[in-house]
Structure 1
Amino acid sequence: EGDGAHGGFPADGVHRTSRLTAPPPVPPRSRLPRPRRGPLAIVVAVLLVLGVGTGVWYINSGQFTKVPPLLSKTEAQARDRLDEAGLDVGKVKHAYSDTVERGKVISTDPGVGDRIRKNDSVSLTVSDGPDTVKLPDVSGYRLDKARELLEDEGLEPGMVTKAFSGEVAKGFVISSKPGSGTTVRAGSAVALVVSKGSPVDVPDVTGDDPEDAKAELAEAGLKVRIADERVNSEYDSGQVARQTPDPGGRAAEGDTVTLTLSKGPRMIEVPDVVGDSVDDAKRKLEDAGFNVDEDRGLLGLFGDTVEKQSVDGGDTAPEGSTIKITIR
């Protein structure tokens, strides 16, 4: 037992371990040679970039163009321009125009210069020239009806003047300018001449009492208005001092004559002309607003000096009254 192992150790007391054999080393992986980029790869890359850029350009701009300038072109010229631009002609409408010659383009849709897809269509509006109207005959119509007829035809009633007429009743149209049947542009103004009725000679009623004046004017077919104010005149207070229209003037039947009544003559101081020559005396008295009557008698036939006057100098007399001077 003494030669055997003790406690699990060898007899010589030396602890031994078994030797492990290491695996053979893995040979290093050889690096594959990196292929060189040749000219073909560069060309492909460039073409790829160009292709992408071209696609982006086409999406954003390449498929669009602009509507060419077509205004004031004939329809045929406009069609040619659109064809050259790669565009089609859409609807062609016609409209009146006072500024664009007949047969030429007024407008486009889309408008000139607008962006549009190629091969899309552009609509055209072509001028038929100015809209014209044949002037209706409005003579013999009341003014309001004549205006209505003109407006119904697309015309504007223009300036109205009045004239006497023995044939056309007052307030009715005598004629128009331009005359009926004339071709004019729509919207043109048409002047009208309207009757004032038959003319009436205005009688002279100055110096009359108001009631007498009214009766005379009414007999002539005229109306009367009495003015609020009164004026000094040669006529007595309350008599007609003046009238409008003036006596002898012409008025239409039914027109109104305005009468202004007198508040009596204005009292004026009479110049002293005794001792003056006849010419000087007359000038002074007339300048003051008086009429002059000369009394020469037998003794004053060849005289030239004022001996006396009917109203003494310094006194007052009605304006327009007569002062008599005695000459010796």
Structure 2
Amino acid sequence: MNWRALPRRAFPYLIAAAGGFLLSYAAVFLFAFPAQVLPDDGILPNVVGKTFEDASAILTKAGFPAQQGESRYTKSTPSNIVLQEDPPAGSRQKRGTNVVLALSAGQKTAEVPVTTNMSQQQARIAIENTGLTMGNVSEQLADQPRGLVIATNPPAGTKIELPGSVDVVLSKGPATVQMPDLFGRSAGEARSMIEQLGLRIAGMSRDTSSLQPENSVIRQIPAAGQTISAGGPVSLTVSHFPPPPSIKIDTGISAPPPSSPPLPPSRFPLPASR
């Protein structure tokens, strides 16, 4: 083996290895410290349409720190996507300039509130306070008192896009109702209780022979304690005092006759007395 010729043969390999090492070092340095090897200014890359994380990485590599700006609700762009950059893309800026990125907040949503056991008006206020509107209102038989909310569609806690509406289901009351005792209650109070139970007034008659207070219930059909189907009829009888008869009192004193009108003056003068 010719030992003297060995260094000459290895020399090209040493040159190639050294060149490769220098290129690798330069590439790593350029990637890790781009702002120190690039010129002082540069063209801002376009990052609109990218996620904030991807946009931040692209800008940082180009020597421009990224800063999160305002969030805007938009129906057409998913959340966390860059909508706008400031300064604008394509402009020449000094490296190190902060680039503010406006992001999409996605479609604005609202959470359906809890309205169970609220009245229809209370539920409407609670729903509208979230930015939603009340949709269809329906009724179904339930154990809850008539007129109270028993369910919503979508259910409470669901997030829905704005604008949106919430359908409400109200209770019609139970399938069967036990008749309450209405005796002695005013007609208005009895009517309110009957309607609250999901029943209806079939008729209301008056009894002038009762000694109960005026306009108070003295009879009911069905009787108190009986079971009646929801929506069933209820008849009531209430007390009523007829107006007292007018009494003409004879005092025995007759009215004086009308006075006679004065006589007109005579056209013939009376003879003078002697």
Give me the TM-score of the superposition, normalised by structure 1. Answer: 0.35
Give me the TM-score of the superposition, normalised by structure 2. Answer: 0.40
Max radius of gyration: which structure? 1
